[in-house]
Structure 1
Amino acid sequence: MSLSRIAHSFPTFRTILVVSSLLRLGLILYSEWHDAHSKVKYTDVDYRVFSDAARFVLHAVPGNTAQGPLGEQLGFGDPYTRSTYRYTPLLALLLAPNEWVHPSFGKYLFAGCDILSGVLLYKMLLDVVLPPAASARDSSPKSAGGPAEPASREAVATMLTSLHLLNPLVFTISTRGSSESILSLFVLLTLYACLQERWDAAAVLLGSSTHWKIYPVIYGAACVGVIAEKELQGGSRWIGRVVNMRTVRFGVVSAGTFFVLGAAMYLIWGEPFLEHTYLYHLSRLDHRHNFSPYFYPIYLTYPSVQTAASTLSLAQKLLRSPLTSFVPQMALSLGSGLAFGMLGGKEHLPFTWFVQTVVFVVFNRVCTSQYFLWYTLFLPLLIPRLSRSMTRFTTILCLALWFGVQGIWLAEAYKLEFLGENVFLGVWSRGIIYMVGSVSVLVVLAVNYCKGFSEPSAQ
């Protein structure tokens, strides 16, 4: 596939930025009208949780005060007074203007993070993924006799960035009030720092990302692998490459940032911060149906009013234990990150992080459509290399399989959720199909990515 041929008549990046910004602005304004006139709200219920938490933080009253040692002195309320708030208090503080500027301030903030993520993707495409020499070889049509013009290179970068900026799932989620765009921006900032080999900055950003939501910790393994890869030429032993001053420094700075932020939150908000932001997710038993096939064993062993958890057998306890999914999930995510990081180098970090994230999401105990954003975020950075080796048929097959396994699951889940039919077993079996299908697509993409790397002159 020739990217430059597809992007030949594509609008400028500035045009895409304006269109995507106006699109988000229009949807936020529409959401206010829709919510005022419809019982079925456009705004996500999570946004109301965020807004309530922000209000609780700003208005400390008896029964609603921050429970840390410094909380009462600083006069903060407790965001966790709002039940189901399971996030860092920093999110509630960021949305404080919802109270004294406008109730939709948070939506504008999330939409702005979407746009900034698009700018970062565009910059990474031009600076790293589509450098002038590679652009001439990888993106221009075979019939072109000379190097690709800079305008063609920018058009390709614009087209690929639009896959994020004009993605309906992305702009719908942010304008409905989900905070995922903030995390996406953190992750891309971390990746950009890594690609620039600014490892101290990357470590600080990784620690901040992990504070915001725990899953980015998996990217640390890939970063350590890339830093360790620099020691490969020295002929040192494997353990000496992985454990050296540079990797230890990265780990200490990253972990230090995470713990400093956590300590600050604990000093203000105390035990509720630890319980709701981190510990809750480790012990969470989500028996509601989701894409993950793990939901069904948890559902079958979920203690009822008549059956206490202490009466469960050892096998039942293992089925519902978080370790049942956590161990293979983290082993695969961290292992693939370290291995690909050491073999590929920094320029292949987008691919490495993509693989890690897909594995993390697919093997997670809870998997919803919103989690797909965690790995589709990296696709614009992978497509140039994938386009070298993937045929049109393979591309269509991967898309059909990825959407198809989701459609198969959704069709059965609809019977359970909306028709009330007893199809738990059917939903579970389709969850297995989803897992197998997703892993199959990942394997195809990985093979073609590596083929594009090993055969640079394919086009």
Structure 2
Amino acid sequence: MGARRRNDMNMAFVCAVILRLVLIAWSAYQDANFDVKYTDIDYFVYTDAARHVVRGGSPYERATYRYPPLLAVLLAPNVLVHEMWGKVFFSTLDIAVGGLILKIGRRRGMNARELKYALWCWLFNPFTCAISTRGSCEALTGVLMLLTVEALTAGATTRAAIAYGFVVHMRLYPIIHALMFVAFLNKDYMGNRALFGKRGSKALSWVTVENVKFAVVSSATFFALTAGSYAVYGM
């Protein structure tokens, strides 16, 4: 990629950061001056849950908190530093998704024009900008999913499985993507070895070393995080 293209990409990231900072500042103004709030109602729930954690309690002391305790821990700076911490944190993850899109796209052979449009479609999408700056935790889900995809395209099955186990612990619904990852890992060009050999049934031929590794490591990560949360907070 030429110097001009790199400068364009860098400028896109700079503009995306500025845009999100402006929206975060606007959120404080709108919340203080309008009946309709900019901030997601769940953001206040996260913050209250984090306050209970900081005081040595359980995040589930906050009614309607329905997320893993780790989210409240991550947002403890909302209480300790500044109430806008979470919005900056989620917006940073939102920007990081753009970086992962570039990395994956380059690895998959996308040209500079395609990379630019893919990046712009994410960084300047009004939905993604609003979601992260309103204080929704969806950016955390997005970055963990893209970390999974990035690791898979790099052939790093263990790293991908850890990221996937983490995201399923944080938000259960990404479990629906498991079959897609299994199919990706089963492709011949990934160099997998079928555990049951060429003479095995068609169904069993999908059971490969990489698929088993992905399933075991992601499950272990999920259950370890869940068990740890239960041990500390009982839920």
Deviations 1:142-195 (A, max 9, x none): xxxxxxxxxxx3243122211010000100111011010011000000011111
CA distance in 1, matches of 2:90, 2:226: 23
**Unpaired segments ≥5 residues, structure 2:** none
SS at match of 2:64: coil
- Which residue of the partner structure matches residue 68 of structure 1? none
8 Å contact from structure 1 (residues 11, 155) kept in 2: no
- Which residue of the partner structure matches residue 206 of structure 1? 164
SS at match of 1:12: helix
Q: Which residue among 195, 205, 209 is the counterpart of 2:153?
A: 195
Deviations 1:225-265 (A, max 9, x none): 23333357x63431332224432222111111100000100
CA distance in 1, matches of 2:5, 2:153: 30
One-letter amino acid matched to 1:100: L
Aligned residue pairs, count: 225
8 Å contact from structure 2 (residues 50, 76) kept in 1: yes
One-letter amino acid matched to 1:261: L
Asked if residue 114 in structure 1 is aligned to residue 94 in structure 2, the reply is: yes
Asked if residue 158 in structure 1 is aligned to residue 116 in structure 2, the reply is: yes
Question: 1:81 Cα shift?
Answer: 1.1
8 Å contact from structure 1 (residues 229, 241) kept in 2: no
Asked if residue 175 in structure 1 is aligned to residue 138 in structure 2, the reply is: no
Question: 1:218 Cα shift?
Answer: 2.2
Question: 1:9 Cα shift?
Answer: 9.7
- Which residue of the partner structure matches residue 15 of structure 2? 19
One-letter amino acid matched to 1:99: V
- Which residue of the partner structure matches residue 280 of structure 1? none
**Unpaired segments ≥5 residues, structure 1:** 1-7, 60-75, 131-152, 274-459
Asked if residue 224 in structure 1 is aligned to residue 182 in structure 2, the reply is: yes
Question: 1:123 Cα shift?
Answer: 1.3
Question: 1:215 Cα shift?
Answer: 1.4
CA distance in 2, matches of 1:162, 1:49: 31
- Which residue of the partner structure matches residue 254 of structure 1? 218
- Which residue of the partner structure matches residue 269 of structure 1? 233
Q: Which residue among 199, 206, 211 is the counterpart of 1:242?
A: 206
Asked if residue 55 in structure 1 is aligned to residue 54 in structure 2, the reply is: no
Asked if residue 88 in structure 1 is aligned to residue 52 in structure 2, the reply is: no
Runs of 4+ in structure 1 deviating by more than 4 angstroms, as ranges, are 8-11
Identical columns (%): 38
Change (3 A) 1:222 1:30: same
- Which residue of the partner structure matches residue 69 of structure 1? none
- Which residue of the partner structure matches residue 97 of structure 1? 77
CA distance in 2, matches of 1:244, 1:176: 42
SS at match of 2:108: helix
How does the TM-score come out when normalised to structure 2?
0.90
**Which structure is larger by alpha-carbon Rg, 1 or 2?**
1
